[in-house]
């Protein structure tokens, strides 16, 4: 490292004038075969829904390929796959809903297999730096049991990272604080 990093600051309460766009919540094109929704609510430490969060996701496609600039095993061939979603509202009710596909398992640098997961960045007024978490899928029991990142999470907290299957997709709430506080990662 030659130059020190530029420090982070809060996204503040007014990001909605600049960051969200109408198709932002679509990590895949609407109508994509196998598309699912992932929805949930973001709560603060008082158990109140947070109306002014900005949530972003990044993930692989079902084949484990990314829609990215790099060539990690090739670029996703899924038509209209963005792999990135951004949700945030000028005056939200605390809930979010993304349209995406379930990612496939990934081979990690060490050669071990990572369970299907979606990386999440959460920004909000009152968060001076982003919070990073992941969405795993509760119905991937075998893959989750073998996942090295989940293995590093205390067993009693792993459930906070598991999205549960519901009609049309999955559901996962995010708790910034309090009972059932979501696991956040140092990246």
Give the closest residue to 42 by CA, choosing from 86, 97, 2, 119. Answer: 97
Question: Least Å distance between CB 40 and another protein?
Answer: 16
Does 3 contact another protein by CB under 8 A? yes
Q: How far is the CB of 128 from another protein (least distance, A)?
A: 4
Considering only 34, 141, 159, 177, the residue that binds another protein (CB under 8 A) is: 177
Strand, helix or coil for residue 149: helix
Per-position x/- string for 110-139, each x denoting binding to another protein as judged by CB under 8 A, each - no binding: x---x--x-x-x-xxxxxxxxxx-x-----
| Residue in 25, 83, 88, 94 binding another protein, rule: CB under 8 A | 83
Q: Does 10 bind another protein (CB under 8 A)?
A: yes
- Nearest CB to another protein, comparing residues 166 and 175: 175
Residue 112 to residue 172: CA distance in whole angstroms: 26
Provide the minimum distance between the beta carbon of 24 and another protein in the complex, in angstroms, as a whole number.
8
With beta carbons less than 8 A apart as the criterion, state whether 148 and 111 touch: no
Output DSSP code: residue 146. T
Please choose, from the candidates 74, 72, 149, 143, the residue with its C-alpha nearest in 3D space to the C-alpha of residue 104: 143
């Amino acid at each position: 490292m030659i130059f020190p990093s530029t420090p982070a600051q809060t996204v503040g309460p007014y990001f909605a004038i600049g960051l969200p766009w109408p198709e932002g919540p679509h990590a895949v094109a609407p109508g994509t075969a196998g598309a699912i929704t992932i929805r949930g609510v973001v709560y603060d430490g008082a158990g109140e829904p947070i109306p002014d969060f900005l949530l972003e996701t990044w993930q692989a496609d079902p084949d484990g390929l990314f829609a990215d600039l790099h060539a990690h095993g090739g670029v996703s061939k899924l038509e209209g796959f963005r792999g990135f979603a951004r949700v945030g509202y000028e005056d939200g009710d605390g809930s979010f809903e993304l349209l995406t596909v379930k990612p496939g398992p990934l081979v990690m640098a060490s050669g071990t297999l990572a369970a299907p997961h979606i990386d999440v960045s959460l920004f909000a007024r009152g968060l001076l730096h982003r919070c990073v978490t992941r969405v795993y899928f509760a119905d991937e029991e075998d893959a989750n049991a073998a996942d090295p990142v989940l293995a590093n999470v205390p067993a009693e907290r792993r459930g906070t990272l598991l999205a549960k299957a519901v009609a049309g997709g999955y559901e996962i709430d995010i708790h910034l604080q309090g009972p059932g506080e979501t696991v956040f990662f140092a990246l």
